[in-house]
């Protein structure tokens, strides 16, 4: 399959998008090359991350259940790490260098 160039964009908060063009603003962007199947997998990972995102309001609803909030944060971090691993694998040389430096 043919691979195309995309930009995985992290905006304020945890809004993550896949874009076809680089945007010149204050966002974090990673350039990747992916075929349709790889792109579908990446989008699925982003969707899962969005579904499990934790907002302060969620924690405030259960102020005395800190253990649950800690578990939620840990799960979210694990999924974010998986997403970044996928971005690294699909990333251009520059993207890989940027991710290694972090």
Neighbours of 89 (CB within 10 A): 12
When mean pLDDT is compared across 9-18, 23-32, 51-60, 65-74, the lowest value belongs to 51-60
Q: How many domains does the chain have?
A: 1
Cα separation, 9 vs 18, whole angstroms: 6
Give the residue among 85, 90, 80 at the shortest CA–CA distance from 100. Answer: 85
Range of the domain at 77: 4-101
- Asked if residue 25 has pLDDT above 80, the reply is no
Express each pLDDT in 41-99 by its tens digit. Answer: 999 999 888 876 655 444 445 555 666 667 767 777 888 889 999 999 999 999 999 99
pLDDT of residue 23: 86
């Amino acid at each position: 399959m043919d691979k195309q160039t995309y930009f995985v964009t992290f905006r304020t908060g945890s809004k993550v998008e896949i874009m076809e063009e680089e945007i010149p603003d204050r966002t974090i962007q990673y350039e990747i090359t992916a075929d349709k199947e790889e792109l579908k997998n990446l989008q699925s990972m982003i969707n899962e991350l969005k579904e499990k995102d934790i907002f302060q309001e969620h924690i405030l609803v259960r102020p005395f259940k800190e253990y649950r909030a800690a578990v939620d944060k840990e799960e979210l971090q694990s999924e974010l790490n998986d997403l970044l691993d996928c971005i690294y694998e699909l990333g251009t040389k520059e993207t890989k260098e940027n991710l290694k430096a972090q």
